[in-house]
Amino acid sequence: MSWIDDKSYAELARVREAREAGVYPYFRPFESGGLRTSVGGHGFVNFSSNDYLGLTSHPRVKEAAHAAVDRYACGLSSSRVQATTVAHVELEARLAKFFGFERALITTTGYQAMVATVMTLADRDTTLALDNLSHACILDGTFLAAGTPGRAPELRFFNHNSARSLERVLKSRERKNALVLVEGIYSLDGDKGQLREIVEVCERHGAALVVDDAHGSGTLGVHGRGVLEDLGLEGRAPVVVSTFSKVFGGIGGIILGATDVVEFIQHTARSFVFSATLPVPIVAAAATVLSMLEEDGPALVAELHDKARYMRENLTARGFDLGASDTHIMPVMVKDERKALVLHHLLYERGLHMVPITYPGVKAGEERLRVNITRGHTREELDHALEVLTELGTMAEIRFRA
């Protein structure tokens, strides 16, 4: 036994405890895809999925992936530098057009796309300004940049969603360039980025803005072009980073920007250049979801918002605290780790999968259940979820009105 065994054993104390109590909620092995699945024969409806438009399991998407397997197999055995296909290039052109940017680059994950963007654009002439609730991919890209010999940018945080706090950071920065990193929707709280004010501050201080719109692409704006369309800000953020792992039915990252900026990342980013290409069946699936958005985007997005509104109104009327949420991502605040784990377990037994978010995902005392409403949920499923949540929420005393 070496010290790594001792260390791992000690660090896993919380996991062991939850398993022993029979309430460990993570890494459940699903027996099929889609919003309705099972574990060990126990069926449930998934309310923690990011398949916001419910298109991941659409027959058209699956057929496109099947056809691509026949032509390209499941991998190209190399990085994009020497393993790019016409499918990648065509989809990049279509994504750029749909989202209104000069150029798009497809990467293998959204996480990788953000790390690539930050690592390429930030150097010792740069101050990186981060919202203090930034996603791990933004933090990790930043920490890698900060640890790169001879390139380390200045690193500063501003208060969540506060343009005023951002302005203080930009005014007092030590480096000549500034790169500001924000999100379209903050996924643990479900609140939209305050981008109108943030864009103005960036413009006033000559800062470049990168928007991670992983949860807003395909869900916000009339056509689903994301948070910039939703807030009337298209053309005012030079870079958007997004993902195929939510609305686009698979996995993969998207970087959108001006041609030179995107090609600079394409030729420089180590996380992109030294990692394998996105498999073509996944490209084909994403291309099919894009076609559906091009053909029918407004109707798909409107249906998602109708269902989200119905759920929000009912959850709020029944006394649940949804925190700062103003989107289809509606955390049900529990504010107690044990309660969140037990509630998750009881909901799961009743056929509802609502994953608990605990420390370090959120601060201690801010524990919650992840409740994502998607277009794919039926009204009956939403009503069932409301009924069971109300019953169990009353029992656990997490509703603030009787």
Residues lying near ligand PLP in the complex (CB under 6 A) are found at 109-111, 114, 135, 137, 183, 187, 212, 214-215, 243, 245, 251, 253
Q: Is 326 exposed, middle or buried (CB count within 10 Å of its CB: 0-12, 13-18, 19+)?
A: middle
Output the smallest distance, CB 182 to ligand PLP, in A. Answer: 10
Looking at the Cβ atoms of 101 and 111, the one nearer to ligand PLP is 111
Q: Is the peptide bond before 360 cis (omega within 30 degrees of 0)?
A: yes
Concatenating the DSSP letter of every residue in 274-312 gives TSBPPPHHHHHHHHHHHHHHHHHHHHHHHHHHHHHHHHH
Q: Which of helix, strand or coil describes residue 328?
A: coil
Output the smallest distance, CB 383 to ligand PLP, in A. Answer: 28
Output the smallest distance, CB 112 to ligand PLP, in A. Answer: 7
Looking at the Cβ atoms of 135 and 312, the one nearer to ligand PLP is 135
Output the smallest distance, CB 339 to ligand PLP, in A. Answer: 25
Output the smallest distance, CB 135 to ligand PLP, in A. Answer: 4
Looking at the Cβ atoms of 371 and 392, the one nearer to ligand PLP is 371
**Can you point out the beta strands (E) in 79-224?**
103-107, 126-131, 154-158, 177-183, 185-186, 191-192, 208-212
Task: Give the integer Cα–Cα distance in Å for 88 and 105.
Answer: 9
Looking at the Cβ atoms of 369 and 386, the one nearer to ligand PLP is 369
Output the smallest distance, CB 251 to ligand PLP, in A. Answer: 6
Output the smallest distance, CB 242 to ligand PLP, in A. Answer: 8
Q: Which residues pair with 46 in a beta bridge?
A: 353
Looking at the Cβ atoms of 104 and 382, the one nearer to ligand PLP is 104
Looking at the Cβ atoms of 19 and 270, the one nearer to ligand PLP is 270
Looking at the Cβ atoms of 165 and 243, the one nearer to ligand PLP is 243
> Which residue is at the shortest CB distance from ligand PLP?
110
- For 215: left if phi > 0, alpha if psi spans -120 to 50, otherwise beta; the answer is alpha
Task: Give the integer Cα–Cα distance in Å for 107 and 288.
Answer: 17
CA 271 to chain centre: 19
